[in-house]
Chains A and B, each alone.
Chain A
């Protein structure tokens, strides 16, 4: 069975500092990997995804994640965070086809002014 581990439940960071949110997964088959963001009292929004091809994927708001097959990781990074990045971030994995996502427990990113 697939599983996703987000090692940090909370990450406080000062504004304009870099941040890395860690995500490791376990799966015996090829997977698709995702990062979702959830702002307070809102639904999930897709931040970025890895399906195939380049192992480094980027979002439009400066986040990036790198798929590392040997380490089964998909860590999310941003070189300089903003107050508006404060949210809950979920890493998720799924197989191909009409299969559901398996989510990690989430990491609460708190950006401090």
Chain B
């Protein structure tokens, strides 16, 4: 079946540093990927839609200069949290619909970011 991977699975960093999270579709192409954020004991909130070869579209209230998204190929999207602060600590999850088969989205296992 279709698989989406994320790397790293967890990361701890100091305040002010930048962290890059990768999302890969392993056996299918994904022209679109979605990035979600999940705070402890809360639901997933859509942050942005990543589009291969074009700019990402961000949800209201999400700072595009803080959360940089690059969808450089049909199998890879990256989310970079720039100048991370403790309030950015969260669980970041990506998902990808299989191009040509948009009925199902496949979720990555998530990346837990802790900013000290």
How many A-B pairs have beta carbons closer than 8 Å: the answer is: 46
The verdict on A97 contacting chain B, using a C-beta distance below 8 Å, is: yes
Asked whether B107 lies within 8 Å of A43 as measured between CB atoms, the reply is yes
Cβ distance A76 to chain B, nearest Cβ, rounded Å? 16
Q: Given the complex of chains A and B, what is the CA–CA distance between A32 and B32 in angstroms?
A: 18
Q: Given the complex of chains A and B, what is the CA–CA distance between A101 and B93 in angstroms?
A: 12
Partner of A90, one of B31, B32, B44, B95: B44
What's the tally of chain B residues with a CB closer than 8 Å to chain A? 20
Q: Given the complex of chains A and B, what is the CA–CA distance between A49 and B108 in angstroms?
A: 18
Q: Which B residues from 78 to 116 make CB contacts under 8 A with A?
A: 93, 95, 97, 102-105, 107-110
Interface 1/0 per residue, A42-61 and B, CB below 8 Å = 11111001010000000000
- Chain A residues whose C-beta falls within 8 Å of the C-beta of B45 in the assembled complex: 103
Asked whether A97 lies within 8 Å of B102 as measured between CB atoms, the reply is yes
Asked whether A101 lies within 8 Å of B43 as measured between CB atoms, the reply is no
Query: Known contacts A43-B93, A44-B93, A105-B43: does B31 contact A98 (CB below 8 Å)?
Result: yes
Asked whether B44 lies within 8 Å of A32 as measured between CB atoms, the reply is no
Q: Given the complex of chains A and B, what is the CA–CA distance between A44 and B104 in angstroms?
A: 13
Cβ distance A57 to chain B, nearest Cβ, rounded Å? 13
Asked whether B32 lies within 8 Å of A103 as measured between CB atoms, the reply is no
Q: Chain A contact residues (Cβ within 8 angstroms of B): what range?
A: 20 to 34
The verdict on B68 contacting chain A, using a C-beta distance below 8 Å, is: no
Q: Given the complex of chains A and B, what is the CA–CA distance between A94 and B34 in angstroms?
A: 13
Asked whether A96 lies within 8 Å of B102 as measured between CB atoms, the reply is yes
The verdict on B74 contacting chain A, using a C-beta distance below 8 Å, is: no
The verdict on B25 contacting chain A, using a C-beta distance below 8 Å, is: no
The verdict on B77 contacting chain A, using a C-beta distance below 8 Å, is: no
Chain B positions within 8 Å of A, measured between CB atoms, are 31-32, 34, 42-46, 49, 93, 95, 97, 102-105, 107-110
